[in-house]
A and B are shown apart, each in its own frame.
Chain A
Amino acid sequence: MTLICVGLSHKQAPIAVREQVAVRPEQIEGHLRDLKALPGVREALLVSTCNRLEIFAIAETRAAAQDLLETFGPVAAPHAVCRFEEEALRHLFRVTASLDSMVVGEAQILGQVKDAALQAQRAGALGPELSRALARATTAAKRVRTETEIARGAVSVSSVAVQLAHKLLGNLEGRSILLLGAGEMAQLAARELRSAGARELLMANRSPQHAEELAREAGGVHVSLAELPALLERADVAICSTSASQAVVTRDMMAKALKARRYRPIFLVDLTLPRNVEPSANELENVYVYDLDDLERVAAQNRDLRAAHVGKAEEIVEEELKAFLTMSRERAAVPVLARLRAHAESLARAEAEKTLAALNGLDEKQQKTVRAMASAIVNKLLHAPTSRLRAEAGQGPLGDAAAELFGLDGEPQPASATKATTVDKQRGDDGAVLPLLRRR
C-alpha cells in the first residue's frame, strides 16, 4: 500500500488553471466516489479550496497516480505535482498547518481539511490509513497554532483596521461605525466590523444617492456629510475614503467632538490619498488616527512576525511527521510478530496434543501441566526475537528475515486462536489494517 498525493496550488498553477479544476462543494462526494472506483485506489481525500486542489489517496501501487493525475484534465494535469509516501504525508501535514498557504498561518485551511475529511467519510472514501494521517496532521496543525505565533496578527489592510479597532474598543458589539465615502477597501473594513458585532453603520457620501444605495446593501443608515461634527461625537470608529482633496476631519473638529463625547476613544481609519484626516488629530488624547501607510506597516510587521515563526512551525511538523512514521512502522512490524507467535503456538499445541495422546491415562491436572510446559517453551524462545522485532519497528531486515526463516507467508491466524497476550492481540488487530508506510 502506498500514499499518493496529486495536486496543484497557487504555487504551481495560475488562477485561470485553478478555476478549471475547482470542485464545487456539492460535487465533492460524487467526485470522491469516482476516485475510489479507480483501479487500485483504496481510500481517497479531496481538499478543494480557492487556492488548491489536492487528492490524497491510499493505493495498491504508485501506478494509480497516473489515473489520479488524469482526473485533473489536459489543461491542469501538466501543472499538478505527484508526491509519494513520506513526501505526500509531509505535504498533507504542511497544508493542514497552513505552511503551504498563500497567506502563511491563515486559519481557514484547518477547517477546510476537516470538512474534506467529513465529506470523504460520507462518501465512504475515508479508511483507517487516511484517518490516522489526518488525525496526526490536525494535531500538528493545532500545535503549530498554539506553540508559534504564525497565526497571530492580521496581514491585510482591512483586517489590520478591524484588529486595531478590537484592540482599542474591545468587544465591538453595540459600537457605532461611521463610513465616510464609498471606497471599496472602506466598505470591506466596514462589513468586517459589522460582522464583528457593531450595532450601527452610518454611511455618508458626497453623492447621497450612492450612499443610500450602499446603506441599503450593507444594512446601514444613510446620513448627510453636513452632519459630520455630530457624527464624530457619536461614532466609535470612522472609516474615511472620500475623494476630497483636503482633510475632511480636522484636528479642531475632532477636539470639539472629543469634549462632547466625554473623551470616549475614537478610531479614525484613513484609507485614501490625499488623506481625509489631519494627521495631527492623532496627538489628541483618546483619538487614534491610522492612515494607509500605518496600516500597511502593521500588516508588514505581522507578516514578518509570521515569517519568523515558520522555521519553528516546520520543526513541529517534522517532529509530528517523524512520530507518525515511527508509529506506522511499529504497526508494520506487528503482523510478522503475530504470525510468528501464531505459528509457534500452533506447533507447540500440536506437539503437546500428540504427546498427550501417546501418554494415555494422564489426569486433567497432568494434561494441563504438559500444555503449560509447551507454552512456556514457546514464550521463552520467542522472547528475544519479539523484543528485537519491536525495537526494529519494521525498519530493518529482521521482519523479512523472520518471515523467511520461519516460513511465515500468508495471513496470521485469528487472534483468538493464537492465545497471544492481550497486548499482542491488540497490536495484531491494529496490524491487520494495512500499514501506511510499511517500509521506506
Chain B
Amino acid sequence: MATILVHIALVAYAAAAAAFLTWLVRPQTRLARAGRALLAIGVVVHFAAFGVSLGVAGAGLGVPAWKGGQLFSLLAAVTVAGYLVLDFRYELPVAGAFVAPFTVAVMVPAHLVESNARAIAPEVSHSILLFIHVGAAALGTAVLALAFGLAILYLASERQMKSKRPGRLFARLPSLDLLDRAGYRLAVWGFVFLSLAIATGSLVSREATGLTFPIAPKQGFAVLAWALFASMIQARLVAGWRGRRVAMLVVAGFVLLIGTYAGLLSAAPALSGSAT
C-alpha cells in the first residue's frame, strides 16, 4: 500500500515538475497554480505513505530498519512541504521549477535503493533521540536545499543584472532583495536544525558505538557544513554581508551537506552498528 502511495506521489511530483518547467517557457498563472496543486497532492499522499509504512512496522516513534531510500524519500517530502510554505509566504513559482524536478531527481534513486535495507543497531532503534536526529536532519537538509535553490537563483539573477543583458529567465525571477532575505532566513533555520541533528546524532552515536564524534566522512562533512553556515551567519550579523557572498557560502555549505549524505550511503556508517 505504502509503495503504491509513493508511486502516486512520484507521479504527482513529476507532473508538477512538467507544469513548472512549462511555466518557465510560457508564464501562465494556471500552470503555476497547477504545479502548486500537484505538489500539494503529492506531498499529502507522500506523508500518508510514511504513515502507512510506520503503521505497518508498528514501531511507534522508533525506526527498526531504514531502507536506504527512505531517508531520501522523507527528505524529498519535507523539501516539497517547505517549498509550499515558502511559496505561500513569498509566491515563488520559479523556485517550484527547481524544487519539483529536484524532488523527482531525489525520489527516483530513492526508489532504486529501496531494497537495500539497513538494520539499525538494536541499542538505538527505538530511541527518541534517533527520531529527533532523523527528523532534524531531514528538516535541516530540506530547508537548506531550498536556501541553496534560492542562492542559485540569486546568483543567476545578480549575474544578469550586473551584465545588463537580462535574459528570458530574468523576467520570471523575483527581486534580488527577496531572494537574499528569504534565502538567508532559510539558511538560519537550516542551521538551527543542522545543529540539532549534529547534537542528537553525537548522542545517538555514543549510545550505539560509545563514540561521541566518530571519525567518518558523514560526520566530517556535517561539521564542516555547520561551521560554514555558522561563519556565514556571523558575517551577516557582524559585518553586514549580503548578496553574492552569502549566496556563494550557502551553495558551498549545501554542497558539503550533500557530502554528508554521500558519507551516509558509504560503508560502515556509525548508526548502522552491526549492519548487514
Contact = CB atoms under 8 A, between A and B. Distances in A.
Interface string B165-201: 1100011011111100000000000000000000000
Contacts of A171: 175
A167 B160 CA distance: 11
Give chain A's interface residue range (CB within 8 Å of chain B): 20 to 34
B240 A166 contact: no
B243 A286 contact: yes
B178 A146 contact: no
Contacts of A366: none
A264 B161 CA distance: 16
B89 interface: no
A170 B177 contact: yes
A408 B29 CA distance: 50
Given A263-B240, A263-B241, A170 B28 contact: no
Contacts of B239: 262
Interface stretch (A45-53, A61-69, A90-98, A290-298): A290-298
A252 interface: no
A265 interface: yes
B161 A167 contact: yes
Interface in A105-150: 146-147, 149
A290 B164 contact: yes
A290 B240 CA distance: 24
B245 A285 contact: yes
A282 B240 contact: no
Nearest to A147: B28
Contact of B243 (A166, A169, A265): A265
Interface in B197-249: 239-245
A167 B162 CA distance: 12
A324 interface: no
B28 A288 contact: no
B244 A265 contact: no
Given A166-B175, A169-B177, A301-B166, A285 B243 contact: yes
A436 B244 CA distance: 60
B161 A170 contact: no
A288 B240 contact: no
B164 A265 contact: no
Contacts of B101: none
Given A286-B242, A288-B161, A265 B26 contact: no
A432 B111 CA distance: 64
A394 interface: no
A169 B178 CA distance: 8
A153 interface: yes
Q: Which of B162, B171, B173, B177 has the most CB of A within 10 A?
A: B177
A263 B161 CA distance: 17
Given A152-B171, A262-B240, A298-B166, A168 B161 contact: yes
B273 interface: no
A167 B243 contact: no
A160 B243 CA distance: 22
A153 B171 contact: yes
Given A146-B29, A263-B242, A168 B175 contact: yes
Nearest to A298: B166
A17 interface: no
A228 interface: no
Contact of B177 (A152, A265, A294, A297): A265
A370 interface: no
A327 interface: no
Given A164-B161, A298-B164, A170 B27 contact: no
Contacts of A264: 240, 242
Contact of A167 (B26, B175, B240): B175
Given A169-B175, A170-B177, A265-B176, A282 B28 contact: no
Contacts of A301: 165-166
Contacts of B245: 285
A265 B26 CA distance: 31
A6 to B, nearest CB: 36
Interface in A160-213: 164, 166-171
A147 B28 CA distance: 6
A285 B244 contact: yes
B27 to A, nearest CB: 7
B174 A170 contact: yes
Contact of A149 (B27, B177, B178, B241): B27
10 contacts: A152-B171, A167-B173, A168-B175, A169-B177, A170-B174, A170-B176, A263-B242, A264-B242, A294-B164, A298-B164
Given A149-B171, A262-B242, A263-B241, 16 more contacts: A146-B29, A147-B26, A166-B175, A167-B161, A167-B170, A168-B175, A169-B176, A262-B239, A264-B240, A264-B242, A265-B177, A265-B243, A286-B243, A290-B164, A297-B165, A301-B165
